[in-house]
């Protein structure tokens, strides 16, 4: 994956995206893809009171949630500084979660502080936790979601429920206590970051929350870290300049909220003052009733969505059946996010017609994120793998060599050469790795000591070294 946001059609088309990324990159450098996703994270919070995307008898809501896995000290925490600043400047709420019990997340029951009689007789009222209501919620140490234990499993289940679509009733969280039971409605967007802890791959595959978020992983090399250190050194006492002022960025999100509200009021014929006095549950019923009128798809929308789905499946259809089952489980979430981001692009453009090209722009981003995720899941190996792993991989390289077409050179190089490209393709098929990066990683780890290489024009040829061809080494 090319980790640059500037290559995407949406960034080239919409100046506000480019302008927002300017501000993001000044705070969190070389993290353009999370920067791009954070724009939709904010827009989802701006739109959730008004937008539902109908899907059969159910619906999606416009929230975008992020799980960002990356080395420490690479700008993850700094990124939320600008996200929170934009949220607050756009009249949207933000909160941080570092640690705590169920009461911190869900809430608890407390005596009514406004009760004027004997405190012992005071009725119990709900004190909502962080998951209640509408806000951007930052998990700066997302490893808490990955840890085992009853409390952490409970936390993960609460987070999964919070991400269920608004309007379905499945985003209502219930807490059973000794004296009573209470519920909260959650419309939070989650921004979760963590370093890559041990066993992260298994967590991504096993925990249901990863089917509900956009997962982004990236390894930072030593040279990348050095470059950022140098860039930060250059920034000391410098004053950044922006083509799009910060006030214009926050003004965009404020205008979006006004535009969406005005659309709901026009379609429902409800006066603004009456709307503001309505209970949120009544507002929800109005929005749910209007979800097939708020936006309308053009004729190209559904064909474009079908095409996007097929492209997502193209990543996994070459895998073995056991891997297909695991990796294809992410595609339903991708399909949902394709619908969601397509509506985001309609909002950015200021149109109530969501089009096929909006789907295409969403697919361009999501395809890369999915391919990046699958590549990482495939290539993740234990450093210092044991002898059995080495023997297995080298056995695949030998088989890949035997299945390749042999070439001879009429000079000192002699016979027994194969095209490296064919060798790599054979290995990928035999070892069940479908991404080029995964195959290259396995070659660098296990194959380089097994093969010699040469060039003939632009083609690279390799030959199995004698000790491996004779079977004397494994």
For the segment 157-183, the average pLDDT, to the nearest whole number, is 90
Please, what is the Cα angle at 41 between 305 and 106, to 5 degrees?
115
User: pLDDT tens, 374-393?
Assistant: 888 876 533 334 567 778 88
| Res. 422 pLDDT band, cuts 50 70 90 | very high
Q: Give the position of tokens 């939320």.
A: 80
Q: What is the pLDDT of residue 104?
A: 87
Burial class (CB within 10 angstroms; exposed 0-12, middle 13-18, buried 19+) of 348: buried
- The per-residue pLDDT for 383 is 31
When pLDDT is averaged across residues 349-372 and rounded to a whole number, the result is: 97
The pLDDT > 90 percentage for the chain reads: 66
pLDDT of residue 381: 38
How confident is the model at residue 119, as a pLDDT? 83
Handedness of CA 295, 301, 306, 307 (dihedral sign): negative
Residues 220-242 pLDDT 10s: 989 999 999 999 999 999 999 99
Q: Which residues pair with 192 in a beta bridge?
A: 67, 139
Instruction: Look at residue 200 and tell me whether its pLDDT is greater than 90.
Output: no
HEC assignment per residue over the chain: CCCCHHHCHHHHHCHHHHHHHHHHHHHCCCCHHHHHHHHHHHHHHHHCCCCCEEECCEEECCCCCEEEEECCCCCHHHHHHHHHHHHHHCCCCEEEECCCCHHHHCEEEEECCCCCCCHHHCCEEEEECCCCECCEEEECCCHHHHCCCHHHHHHHHHHHHHCCCCCCCCCEEEEECCCCEEEEEECCEEEEEECCCCCHHHHHHHCHHHHCCEEEEECCCHHHHHHHHHHHHHHCCCCCCCCCCHHHHHHHHHHHHHHHHHHHHHHHCCCHHHHHHCCHHHHHHHHHHCHHHHCEECCCHHHHHHHHHHHHHHHHCCCCHHHHHHHHHHHHHHHHHHHHHHHHHHHHHCCCEECHHHHHHHHHHHHHHHHHHHHHHHHCCCCCCCHHHHHHHHHHHHHHHHCCCCECCCCCCCCCEEEHHHHHHHHHHHHCCCCHHHHHHHHHHHHCCCEEEEEECCEEEEEECHHHHCCCCC
How far is residue 430 from each of residues 403, 440, 446, measured CA to CA in Å? Answer: 10, 14, 15
pLDDT (average), residues 121-139:
93
Residue 434 confidence (pLDDT) above 80: no
pLDDT mean over 59-87: 96
Asked whether residue 217 carries a pLDDT value surpassing 50, the answer given is yes
Query: Which domains does the chain show, CATH number per domain?
Result: 5-288 (3.40.50.300), 295-379 (no CATH), 387-469 (1.10.10)
pLDDT at 20: 98
pLDDT of residue 196: 82
Indicate if the pLDDT at residue 143 is higher than 60. yes
C-alpha to C-alpha distances, 167 to 31, 71, 170, 282, 285, nearest whole angstrom: 33, 37, 8, 11, 8
pLDDT of the residue at 150: 59
Residue 427 reports pLDDT greater than 60: yes
pLDDT averaged over every residue in the chain: 90
For residues 316-342, average pLDDT? 89
What pTM does this model have?
0.82
**In this model, does residue 323 exceed pLDDT 80?**
no
Mean per-residue pLDDT, 209-228:
92
Tell me the average pLDDT across 413-434.
90
pLDDT value, residue 474: 46
Lowest mean pLDDT among 147-156, 195-204, 252-261: 147-156
Reported confidence tier of residue 319, pLDDT bands at 50, 70, 90: confident
Query: How many Cα neighbours within 13 Å face the side chain of 78?
Result: 15
Which of the pair, 438 or 191, is modelled with greater confidence?
191
Residues forming a β-bridge with 407: 417
What confidence score (pLDDT) does residue 410 get?
Answer: 86
Q: Identify whether the C-beta of residue 216 lies closer than 8 Å to the C-beta of residue 372.
A: yes
Give the per-residue pLDDT at 154: 77
Name the pLDDT band for 146 (thresholds 50, 70, 90): low
Residue in the structure block whose two tokens are 């339903």: 332
Please check the confidence at residue 465 and state whether its pLDDT lies above 70: yes
Look at residue 359 and tell me whether its pLDDT is greater than 70.
yes
Dihedral over Cα of 289, 290, 292, 293: its sign: positive
CA distance 42 to 251: 13
Stretch 111-127: mean pLDDT: 88
Question: pLDDT tens digits, residue range 273-291?
Answer: 999 999 999 999 999 999 9
Q: Kindly report which listed range (174-183, 184-193, 209-218) carries the lowest average pLDDT score.
A: 174-183
Q: What is the pLDDT of residue 18?
A: 97
Q: Is 231 exposed, middle or buried (0-12, 13-18, 19+ CB in 10 A)?
A: exposed
Q: For residue 26, which of 248, 240, 243 has the smallest C-alpha distance?
A: 240
The mean pLDDT value for 71-89 works out to 96
Q: Which two tokens stand for residue 429?
A: 């098929």
As a whole number, mean pLDDT of residues 46-63 equals 98
Task: Retrieve residue 43's tokens.
Answer: 């827009």
Cα–Cα nearest to 365, from 42, 19, 9, 67: 9
Query: Mean of the pLDDT values across residues 51-59?
Result: 97
């Amino acid at each position: 994956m090319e980790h640059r946001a500037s290559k995407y059609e949406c960034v080239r088309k919409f100046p506000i995206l480019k302008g927002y990324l300017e501000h993001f990159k000044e705070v969190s450098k070389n993290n353009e893809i999370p920067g791009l996703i954070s724009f939709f994270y904010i827009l989802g919070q701006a739109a959730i009171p008004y937008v539902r995307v109908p899907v059969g008898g159910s619906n999606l809501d416009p929230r975008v949630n992020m799980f960002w896995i990356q080395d420490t000290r690479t700008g993850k925490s700094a990124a939320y500084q600008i996200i929170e600043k934009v949220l607050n400047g756009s009249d949207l709420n933000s909160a941080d979660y570092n640690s705590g019990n169920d009461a911190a997340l869900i809430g608890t029951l407390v005596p009514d502080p406004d009760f004027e009689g004997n405190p012992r007789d005071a009725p119990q009222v709900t004190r909502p936790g962080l998951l209640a209501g509408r806000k951007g919620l930052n998990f700066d140490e997302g490893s808490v979601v990955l840890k085992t234990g009853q409390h952490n499993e409970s936390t993960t289940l609460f987070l999964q429920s919070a991400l269920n679509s608004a309007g379905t009733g499945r985003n209502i969280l219930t807490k059973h206590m000794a004296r009573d039971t209470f519920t909260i409605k959650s419309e939070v967007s989650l921004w979760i970051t963590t370093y890559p802890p041990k066993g992260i791959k298994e967590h991504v595959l096993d925990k249901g929350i990863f089917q509900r978020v956009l997962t982004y992983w990236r390894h930072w090399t030593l040279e990348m870290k050095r470059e950022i250190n140098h860039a930060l050194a250059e920034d000391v006492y410098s004053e950044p300049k922006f083509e799009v002022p910060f006030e214009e960025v926050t003004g965009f999100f404020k205008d979006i909220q006004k535009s969406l509200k005005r659309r709901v009021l026009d379609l429902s014929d409800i006066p603004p003052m009456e709307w503001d006095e309505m209970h949120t549950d009544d507002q929800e019923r109005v929005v749910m009733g209007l979800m097939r009128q708020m936006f309308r798809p053009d004729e190209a929308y559904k064909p474009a969505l079908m095409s996007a789905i097929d492209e997502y499946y193209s990543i996994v259809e070459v895998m073995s059946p056991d891997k297909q089952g695991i990796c294809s489980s992410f595609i339903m979430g991708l399909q949902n996010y394709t619908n969601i981001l397509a509506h985001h692009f309609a909002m950015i453009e200021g149109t109530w017609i969501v089009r096929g090209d909006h789907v295409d722009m969403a697919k361009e981003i999501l395809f890369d994120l999915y391919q990046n995720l699958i590549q990482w899941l495939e290539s993740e190996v234990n450093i210092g793998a044991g002898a059995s792993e080495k023997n297995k991989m080298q056995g695949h390289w030998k088989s890949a060599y035997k299945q390749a077409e042999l070439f001879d050179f009429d000079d000192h190089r002699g016979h027994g050469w194969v095209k490296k490209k064919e060798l790599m393709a054979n290995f990928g098929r035999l070892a069940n790795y479908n991404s080029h990066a995964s195959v290259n990683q396995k070659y660098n780890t296990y194959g380089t000591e097994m093969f010699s290489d040469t060039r003939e024009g632009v083609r690279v040829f390799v030959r199995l070294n004698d000790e491996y061809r004779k079977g004397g080494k494994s």
